[in-house]
């Protein structure tokens, strides 16, 4: 079964040193083109495992991704056939270097020892358990936990509109380790009518997102708080604005053991309390 896609997406990522990389993903059918202004940013050794993973997943879906710098195709990922000598270098049959320029770009990135830019594989959803109905098996596989310091599950705040309509667009704010909410120029989330530094959302060492009131009133589910824990569905009110916290089920602590076992009515064993990291304390 082949997958057909249509894409027109612009994005920007930033490495730990603050270097920004911009790209534009376009394409239709089974072929996508990714144009980036600095291809070497993704060619470091730290990103190699993630790139191989993406290439394999694209191949399963019969999709091909061509990475270019605007002048030539540097590498092709996915539904391609790499020559044997390239496989010895890339360790993947689904990665085909398109030109000598692509090899030179990868060599430069590794020589410079660039830090990883792409999200860790720890942030990917856990694979589907086998058998497909694990709760019926004699020996179900051991379930995984959700304690992931890499901010897995796309944690975000969604600005709730005054009236929920089926086709209404939502404003989404993706969360970093620390997000400042207010009306000031330094704020990551700027909303009118708030104090300059109204509140702060912090990702703590226990992989929890906690809101702290600063110079404004903060309410969690209608109750005024100095600080409050955010879980999927939590309603956060700042001024006249209502923000709803969301995080994918496999990474949300409100859904223990990486999601429900047996569906919505299935039994949920409580996840054991995480032992704090002694080094962090």
pLDDT in tens, 134-193: 444 444 444 445 555 567 788 999 887 654 444 556 688 999 899 999 999 999 999 999
Give residue 57's pLDDT band: very low, low, confident or very high (50, 70, 90): confident
Residue at 113 is within a domain: yes
165 shares its domain with 112: no
Do 57 and 101 share a domain, yes or no? yes
Q: Are residues 172 and 99 in the same domain?
A: no
Domain coverage including residue 170: 156-250
- Can you tell me the mean pLDDT for 235-264? 74
Is the domain of 106 the same as that of 188?
no
Tens digit of each residue's pLDDT (9 = 90 or more) over 214-226:
999 999 988 899 9
The count of other CB atoms within 10 Å of the CB of residue 235 is: 14
Burial (Cβ within 10 Å: 0-12, 13-18, ≥19) of residue 72: exposed
With vertex at residue 156, the alpha carbon angle to CA 45 and CA 184, rounded to the nearest 5 degrees, is: 105
**90 and 180 belong to one structural domain:** no
Extract the runs of DSSP E, i.e. beta strands, from 120-250. 156-159, 171-174, 178-182, 189-190, 199-203, 209-213, 218-220, 223-224, 227-230, 235-238, 241-246
Each residue's pLDDT tens digit, 66-118: 888 878 788 888 899 888 887 877 788 888 887 666 555 555 555 555 555 56
Position 32 in a domain:
yes
Residue 129, classified by CB atoms within 10 Å of its CB into exposed (0-12), middle (13-18) or buried (19+), is middle
Contact 22, 10 (CB under 8 A): yes
pTM value is 0.47
Confidence of residue 32 (pLDDT cuts 50, 70, 90): very high
- What is the H or E stretch that residue 86 is in? helix 84-90
Residues in CB range of 163: below 8 A, 6 or more apart:
none
Same domain, 11 and 79: yes
CA atoms of 139 and 135, how far apart (whole Å): 9
User: Would you say residue 195 lies in a domain?
Assistant: yes
Question: 47 and 97: one domain?
Answer: yes
Of the three residues 121, 145, 179, the one that is the final residue of a domain is 121
Q: Is residue 200 part of a domain?
A: yes
In a domain, residue 277? The reply is no
Please count the structural domains in the chain.
2
Q: What stretches of 15-63 adopt beta strand conformation (E)?
A: 20-29, 31-36
The pLDDT value given to residue 60: 85
């Amino acid at each position: 079964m082949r997958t057909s896609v249509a894409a027109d997406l612009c994005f920007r990522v930033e490495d730990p040193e603050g270097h920004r990389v911009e790209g534009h993903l376009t394409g239709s059918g089974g072929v996508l083109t990714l144009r980036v202004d600095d291809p070497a940013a993704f060619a470091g050794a730290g990103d190699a495992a993630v790139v191989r993973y993406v290439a394999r997943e694209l191949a399963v879906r019969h999709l091909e991704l061509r990475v270019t710098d605007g002048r030539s195709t540097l590498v092709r990922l996915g539904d391609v056939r790499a020559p044997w000598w390239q496989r010895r270098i890339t360790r993947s049959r689904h990665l085909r270097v398109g030109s000598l320029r692509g090899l030179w770009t990868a060599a430069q990135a590794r020589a410079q020892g660039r830090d990883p830019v792409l999200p860790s594989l720890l942030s990917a959803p856990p694979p589907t358990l086998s058998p497909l109905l694990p709760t019926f098996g004699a020996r179900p596989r051991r379930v995984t936990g959700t304690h992931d310091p890499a901010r897995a599950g796309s944690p975000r705040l969604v600005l709730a509109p005054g009236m929920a309509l089926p086709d209404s667009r939502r404003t989404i704010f993706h969360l970093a380790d620390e997000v400042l909410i207010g009306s000031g120029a330094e704020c990551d989330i700027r909303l009118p009518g708030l104090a300059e530094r109204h509140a702060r959302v912090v990702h703590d060492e226990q992989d929890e997102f906690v809101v702290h009131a600063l110079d404004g009133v903060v309410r969690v589910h209608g109750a005024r708080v100095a600080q409050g824990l955010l879980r999927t569905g939590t309603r956060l009110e700042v001024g006249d604005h209502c923000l709803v916290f969301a995080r994918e089920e496999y990474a949300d602590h409100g859904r223990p053991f990486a999601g429900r076992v047996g569906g919505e009515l299935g039994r949920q064993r409580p996840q054991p309390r995480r032992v704090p990291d002694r080094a962090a304390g």
